Structure 1
Amino acid sequence: MREKTPKGQGSRSKLRDYLNENVGIVVDSNTLRDVAGVSEWGRRVRELRNEEGMNIVTHNDRSTLKPGEYMLVDLKPIPAFARGISKETRAFVLDRNGFTCQMCGAVAGEPHPYDANRKTRLHIGHTIDKSMGGTDDSRNLRAICSVCNEGASNLTLNRPDAMKLLMQIRRAPSIDQLEVLKWLITKFPIQAKDLSK
């Protein structure tokens, strides 16, 4: 008799195998969704990156990638992070955030405003990702729905324009402005070198 694989493990294995076979090739979210065969494919990709140390990058990491594009850079593992959020912390964050997605405002259990075919399911997300030095402290956690968690928010939510972003950065303390500068230099190394000439 064949053993059942735990929920999610089958899709995670499929994604791992697919990405390993396509190292250095840009793949899109639709392809990964098809490979995984589940709606929560985005969570599985994050588990591969954060828990197994696969060097998977997105547009947040590389300016050459568009929203919804992913690439396994190489087979060399990067430091992986174990899940460390307790049930108590999860409950606290969900309650503090009013059981509402902090990106799109969807409420747990109600039809999702961007995907009416499914009810809103909330997850706990990091404000600053663990791979960027973020912690599992409740101050760095927020409620986020599965649609935003999968990256669909890149396509559906209005993005702030340059003026609004600049206003926010100008209002921030100097230490935060420096963090933004470091992030921009990391994301746009070629453009940063051109500006320094």
Structure 2
Amino acid sequence: MSTKVPRRKGSRTKLREFFLENVGHVLNSDLLRDIAGTSEWARRVRELRNEEGMNIVTHNDRSELKPGEYLLVNIKPLPSFERGISKETRAFVLDRNGFTCQMCGSAAGEPHPYDQGRKTRLHIGHIIDKSMGGNDDLSNLRAICSVCNEGASNLTLNRPQAIKLLAQVRRAPTSDQLDVLKWIVEKSPKQTLGLLNKTQ
């Protein structure tokens, strides 16, 4: 008579079960490393988030969390486009959008203007949500920050037209106009130089 040897749980399985047992509780990196039993625990957490869609957030997503703290918000999985999008597509959309949120204009890595406690972290989102008939085409994807993403469910905003933007810049004080110019030069130095050469 043969006896079955129970299969050992992998580190990803251990972490998944532990997060599900502690939904809504802040977990620190030391504890997660112990649970996983491997130095690769952080990669396993990323896999749970990116491949399985677990809604695990860090200090990059929530200002109340400290570095090294993780929180499973709820058991509702993240949208599939965030998990299934390729690195190439993500890089293309972020570059096309100038590494700035297309709703509030905050740039990746900078302090967020509407949440002073955290830096801007960009995600890839839909312009027209899937629930409203949108698709995963490049033309329907945009860079969006964590703050705007939290409040952007089923919300579609039209991008401002150049004439409206110029009207706002013209009304602004000279110091603000120079700030806009500085931002444009830093964001697109080659294009700015090309425009200056054409005007000379």
**Greater RCO, CA 8 A, separation 6+:** 1
TM-score by length of 1: 0.44
TM-score by length of 2: 0.44
Larger Rg: 2
